[in-house]
Structure 1
């Protein structure tokens, strides 16, 4: 029997979000209903609200969540009621060309629930990233449920569902930062700081944080940055070269998604170094003008990082365990705890750079 719960909806482009009654159907084949305990407020949710993802309004926002599986549909064997899970938007299919090549972290045919959640009048909702978790209960594909150690608080564990994993994975999985490496991170919000924390965990010895906000540079130091540079005051490329023996960093993470910062990343890397783009650009932006000979002459790799190139079933439990061991500071990303009625204020704080993560407690 369908349930009615409260959830946060973006009805139209740029309009304030509303808290409304949501109809959640019983899970069908391959589906699960999850009782949400906590959900982080991510920039992607703001992009949905502003129409920056697509125009399939109304959206049920929220996706960076942890909770308890309440019920499952026919054929579900990977999770069962009572399981503590982090939700993911890469439910690996196992059959696409990426999966068949042994690269499920790039799965090209990820699963979402088949049924739709609706408003009271029957209007179908588009769940953010196929999840929709600013809501008391949500319907997802069972493959979107990743079991983790229940000792980790939901407000912490859920952050692996998107932003933290994107930054952490950009450094560790995509950039393959290793012991003794140097890394520069341009843009030190939640994703950039996660890349810094991941680089520290991986054994990087020179970790350079680049931003224009002194507050964010201070946060970066708390996550492991060994050097910081305010790009408003100092040329970041020259600074990065100056602290890497004039060579540039082995890996540069671009966590802004702007042509000008991508160009800085390109020239701030060492010869044969790696640039990783994890900042999400808007559709109107074009690549910076860089002479083709520089692409050839500098060698190395230019990569885009999708979801930190993570495999949720492998990575989420690992980093939750590392947090519980005191080796990865997931809790430092939580700036404030808020209620379901406070999302609009949280968006304002995020846009102003006042928080790393506001987390909705349900």
Structure 2
């Protein structure tokens, strides 16, 4: 029996790496030996710390972005073979057994360090699609963490101008500007609102994408949107928000759109609502063509044995770290 290693949240705030027996795949599954897995900081740290709107059930096995090599295939799996480089929506582990429907080949020319961003890129893309951005519309993205950074780039690719990145950490704003934001602003500055109105011609943004998951940011998003604007709730809020719907929504004629990744259609794409598989094809094309730039968003790659330290850095040093990949090659 092959022994593998995996990340486990034992209790609130407690991260461990444990060994486990690797089981063979069933007839519709494949066994993947992971190369890298990418931490999704917002969701995973919220789950780790048992914040509101999370399961709060432990032990928990986090992660949903892995890239690796297929080692074994089930007897009914025809679309893959041993040795294929693939991505999967699977947990942080050295080995994962996954249904073939949740596994996708990595196209030739896409590096593993880029491919591992596939899930978070698709999450950002479905949010930007729901905004239905028209060429020339102004878009503000609140929160330049990993999903916000991706949404900022995708908004620009969708024709938004200006694209305005907002964050409390200046290091993140600098990265956003290097990767395509036309304007970056820190909401903590005393002149923030004046500058925001200046760059949006006094109107506010036609589209505001909230990507922080902070309940308090909802009110900021509503305030920054123009009359008849759209507010896209891309971040998963961890708590309750108090909103004056008359002044902030009703009177302004706002459209608020929930953009959780789980509301995708499963089998067939339609306008603004694409399947994960169809979005992934687009993401791979964007990565291969370098139109979507993710390498600068990868703050570090560390051995899986140092996983607790990775979560500590992402939780306590947000100004330095956007996301971290775990390296499983020596497992």
When normalised by structure 2's length, the TM-score is: 0.87
Could you say which residue in structure 1 is the equivalent of 2:5? 6
SS of the aligned residue for 2:230 comes to: strand
Could you say which residue in structure 1 is the equivalent of 2:245? 291
SS of the aligned residue for 1:233 comes to: coil
CA distance in 2, matches of 1:22, 1:159: 26
C-alpha contact (below 8 Å) 2:17/2:307 kept by paired residues: no
Could you say which residue in structure 1 is the equivalent of 2:33? 35
> 1:238 Cα shift?
4.4
Please point out which of 82, 85, 98 is paired with 1:140: 98
Task: Tell me: CA distance 1:250–1:77, structure 2 relative to 1, closer, same or farther (3 Å).
Answer: farther
Structure 1 vs Structure 2 CA RMSD? 2.1
Following TM superposition, the consecutive aligned residue runs of length 4 or more in structure 1 with deviations greater than 6 angstroms are none
Could you say which residue in structure 1 is the equivalent of 2:69? 68
C-alpha contact (below 8 Å) 2:125/2:279 kept by paired residues: no
SS of the aligned residue for 1:246 comes to: coil
SS of the aligned residue for 1:20 comes to: strand
Task: Tell me: CA distance 1:60–1:289, structure 2 relative to 1, closer, same or farther (3 Å).
Answer: closer
> 1:176 Cα shift?
2.3
> 1:74 Cα shift?
4.4
Could you say which residue in structure 2 is the equivalent of 1:49? 48
CA distance in 2, matches of 1:145, 1:293: 46
When normalised by structure 1's length, the TM-score is: 0.80
User: 340-349 or 147-156: which moved more?
Assistant: 147-156
CA distance in 2, matches of 1:212, 1:323: 28
Task: Tell me: CA distance 1:178–1:149, structure 2 relative to 1, closer, same or farther (3 Å).
Answer: farther
CA distance in 1, matches of 2:108, 2:66: 14
User: 224-233 or 25-34: which moved more?
Assistant: 25-34
> Which blocks of at least 5 consecutive residues in structure 1 are unaligned?
89-130
Could you say which residue in structure 2 is the equivalent of 1:274? 230
Please point out which of 123, 129, 150 is paired with 1:166: 123
CA distance in 1, matches of 2:79, 2:197: 49
Superposed CA offset, 1:108-156 (max 9, x none): xxxxxxxxxxxxxxxxxxxxxxx21x21111222221122314212221
> 1:59 Cα shift?
2.2
Task: Tell me: CA distance 1:78–1:303, structure 2 relative to 1, closer, same or farther (3 Å).
Answer: farther
Could you say which residue in structure 1 is the equivalent of 2:271? none
